[in-house]
Structure 1
Amino acid sequence: MIIKKISCHVPPEAKQVFSEQQAMWNALKQCNGFLGQFGGWEETNSYTASIYSFWETLDDYRHFMEHTHDSIVEGTNQQKTYNSISIDLFERQFNLSEERDIYNVLEKAHFVRIALATVKCEFIPRFIYFQQGIWNPGMQQAEGMLGGVFARSREVENQFLVLSGWKSAYDHRQYMQSFFPSLLEAANPKRDVSFLVGEQFSIQETWRVSR
């Protein structure tokens, strides 16, 4: 599975138009290998639109980019509504829960939390081991956790993405209060990570595209 991370900086006066045009991406449903897309306004910077799309294979994604992407962009005229855009591709390594796959998140999540970690190369195996052995079981105990993915950047060998979907922002806050502190202490990611940044947002329903 390929995860495409899109980040757009949108000036205040263009947010409404950007949002309306983001709702015009339903043509994605017709693309082979498309699994779903969602996005929202990042909580710590309300002028940053975070969008994630999911594809079965890299070939499916490349075919979309070569044959369909530009026509959708031209149809929405969305490129005129943001000051800058950054795009990153990740490849899924494993799910955060064996019982709750990404379709559960794509269809039911209303809140998303993402961690982007640049890991010291010599500690990558330990970082992955702790994700599977500490973080995943801990998150699975939290009420309202719908699933997610652990993915590796296709461009930067030591960059990883952890994306989890939640029924609500409240459920995520409860997890942060009740589970996160002990998991953080047990995993102690500061030993392994040289740079860590998080983002979170409530999903804008009009931006959600399901298969």
Structure 2
Amino acid sequence: MLTKWIRCEVTDRAGFDRAQRGWTRLSRLPGFLGQRGGWSGAGTAHVLAFWADQRSYDRFMADDHDELAAGQHRTFDEIDVRLFEHCQDIGENLALAPGSGLVRLAHCTVAPHRTERFARTQASVWTPGMHSAPGFLGGVLGQRDSAEFLVLSQWTSQGAHARYRAERFPALFDRAAPSEDLTAITGHLIALDPAWSVPPAGSTPPPGAVRVAAPRSVPPTRAWRPTSG
């Protein structure tokens, strides 16, 4: 599975939102597993898309992408697009989670000699800790190049994630000792907009939910700081 992360600094929020609701044609494409997105601040939009394999994704980019994206070109002034290969699921497969709630995104740069430990610690410490937390819906760990990782976890609400951060995160952080692995991390809390959710054709639409107010994103940093989880 591939995870595509798109981050846009939006100048026309209404226009971007309107165009983002028009991506429903994705649902019929071979290899498409789902798409969702939302806001981490007043002008920062994130879109997360899941594809079965590189071949399906390349076909989409060659045949359908430009036509679908044409309506959004003038709604943002900055875009960053990254594609990550699947490393491991964090509990349930994130592509199967509903398109509402909150996503915690951690974009991590890992010291080259610590990548195996980083992935092993995710599986043995962070995943069990999050999976047992109330309100946790699923997640994924993806890798790009040798030392760049994307950690996504989805929650029913901002409150559920806040309780996890207050009650479970400190002990997990001490066990994981991420400062031994990370050279940089950037974090975002993304309030998902259900209207942006595109499930694959034939799937059961996720149940509706109250839209979560967009939280303030964690400011980017080039040095390590304790914002995992």
Gaps of 5+ in 2: 201-229
Corresponding residue of 1:47: 43
What does 1:187-198 align with in structure 2 at a 5 Å threshold?
Answer: 187-198=176-187
The structure with more helix, counted as a fraction of residues = 1
SS of corresponding position for 1:143:
coil
SS of corresponding position for 1:83:
strand
- Deviations along 1:126-182, one digit per CA (max 9) or x if unpaired, are 1111111110111111001011101101xx310011101111111111111111111
Aligned pair partner of 1:207 in 196, 199, 211: 196
Corresponding residue of 1:69: 65
Q: Is the 8 A contact 1:108 1:167 kept in 2?
A: no
1:134 aligns with 2:125: yes
Deviation at 1:109, TM superposition (A): 4.2
Deviation at 1:71, TM superposition (A): 1.5
Aligned pair partner of 1:58 in 54, 58, 69: 54
TM-score (norm. length: structure 2): 0.85
- Deviations along 1:84-112, one digit per CA (max 9) or x if unpaired, are 11100001111011xx222432x254110
TM-score (norm. length: structure 1): 0.92
Q: Is the 8 A contact 1:109 1:146 kept in 2?
A: no
- Deviations along 1:18-48, one digit per CA (max 9) or x if unpaired, are 1111111001011111011111111xx4211
SS of corresponding position for 2:36:
strand
Corresponding residue of 1:17: 15
Corresponding residue of 1:94: 88
The CA RMSD measured in Å over matched residues stands at 1.1
Gaps of 5+ in 1: none
The aligned length equals 200
Aligned pair partner of 1:38 in 26, 36, 57: 36
Corresponding residue of 1:160: 149
Corresponding residue of 1:79: 73
Deviation at 1:124, TM superposition (A): 1.0
User: 2:44 and 2:147 mapped to 1: Cα distance?
Assistant: 25
